[in-house]
Amino acid sequence: MSIQFSKHKLFVPEYANVDYESASDIIIHYAKQRKSFGVSALAVHGLMESVKYEKLRKVINQIDLIVPDGQPVRWALNSFYKLGMKDRVYGPELTLRVLQKANSQGLKIYLYGSTENTLNLLQKFINRRFPKINISGVHVDRFREATLEEDVEDISKINASGAHIVLVGRGCPRQEFWVANHKNKINAAMMAVGAAFDFHAGTLKQAPAWMQRNGLEWLFRLMKEPRRLAKRYFVTNTQFIFTLLKFKLFYRKPYRLS
């Protein structure tokens, strides 16, 4: 049995009109069935990557549930479609909501990606806060794409573990490619949640709530990691604003013309 939810295209990705409660319910529904189901919390950076790069553009909508991670994405969807979304669906918070529901049902979680140190700290966090969750496997990121043989081995290990949910923390857009390319191969709900690994492991600090509410999380993260994120935010945010204005003023529709 599948759950129906509406999708709305913004430039390229088809975002789901969901909130934390409905999104986490959908994920748990497919997780319990161990049905291959892809999820991505996609903010402005991921959105613009899908606009710029053909390879990502071709596969992004193979992901079943794309949620509006950033406030600017929510604002844009509300502006074009009058959805009345009251909040974004922030990847780290969605991860906590899913873990809470998985904990109540004793589901199995597999952690895929990031560094050994971050994964060790993340496991401790999950074990402490969600003691009924079974962490059925952990995979440290290779920080390169797997060979065909390695990928087959990874798929076999994840499926053999009995995992209901695979949390994928490889950074955007590598994690989106991974989830899209493993649809119908991994028998679990796969969640591309990126920085959630570092935030919940405690290796990165989250922005204050007021900055998150007002779409200023990018500024907080930029101050914390200026060398890594300066180009991403200044270039990507500017491109987003110009693209949004272009579609508003000239196309009148929030998606690319074919």
The tally of CA atoms less than 13 A away on the side-chain side of residue 193 is 25
pLDDT at 219: 80
Q: Which residues contact 36 (CB under 8 A, 6 or more apart)?
A: 182, 183, 184, 185, 186, 187, 188, 190
Task: Place 173 in a pLDDT band, splitting at 50, 70 and 90.
Answer: very high
pLDDT, tens digit, 9 for 90 and up, residues 35-64: 999 999 999 999 999 999 999 999 999 999
Which pLDDT band holds residue 258 (cuts at 50, 70, 90)?
low
At 227 the pLDDT is: 81
% of the chain exceeding 70 in pLDDT: 99
Residue 100 has a pLDDT of 98
* Strand segments (E) across the chain: 7-9, 14-16, 37-42, 65-68, 108-112, 134-139, 165-168, 189-192
Give CA–CA dist 7/258, Å, rounded.
19
Contact at 8 Å (CB) between 202 and 121? yes
| % of the chain exceeding 90 in pLDDT | 82
Task: Give the pLDDT score at 24.
Answer: 98
CB 197 within 8 A of CB 122: yes
Return the pLDDT at 229.
Answer: 78
Q: Taking Cα atoms as reference points, which of 94, 95, 38, 98 lies closest to residue 66?
A: 38
Peptide bond into 173 cis (omega under 30): yes
Mean pLDDT across the stretch 229-246?
Answer: 88
Alpha-carbon dihedral of residues 14, 20, 22, 26, nearest 10 degrees? 70
More confident residue, 184 or 207: 184
Of 88, 86, 96, the C-alpha closest to 191 is 96
DSSP code, position 258: -
- pLDDT tens string 116-170: 999 999 999 999 999 999 999 999 999 999 999 999 999 999 999 999 999 999 9
At 231, is the pLDDT very low, low, confident or very high (cuts 50, 70, 90)? confident
- Is residue 230's pLDDT more than 70? yes
Element housing 240 (H / E): helix 226-246
User: Rounded mean pLDDT of the chain?
Assistant: 94
Q: Is the separation of the CB atoms in 20 and 89 below 8 Å?
A: yes
**Neighbour-count burial of 128, counting CB atoms closer than 10 A to its CB (0-12 exposed, 13-18 middle, 19+ buried):** exposed
Q: pLDDT-derived band of residue 203, with 50, 70 and 90 as boundaries?
A: very high
204-223 pLDDT, tens per residue? Answer: 888 888 888 887 877 887 78
b/e burial code for range 51-61 (CB count within 10 A of at least 16 → b): beeeebbebbb
Q: pLDDT tens-digit profile of 92-122?
A: 999 999 999 999 999 999 999 999 999 999 9
pLDDT of 42 reads 97
Farthest CA pair distance, the chain: 53
The token pair that represents 214 in the structure block: 């007002």
pLDDT at 143: 95
Cβ neighbours of residue 239 closer than 8 Å, sequence gap 6 or more: 48, 51, 52
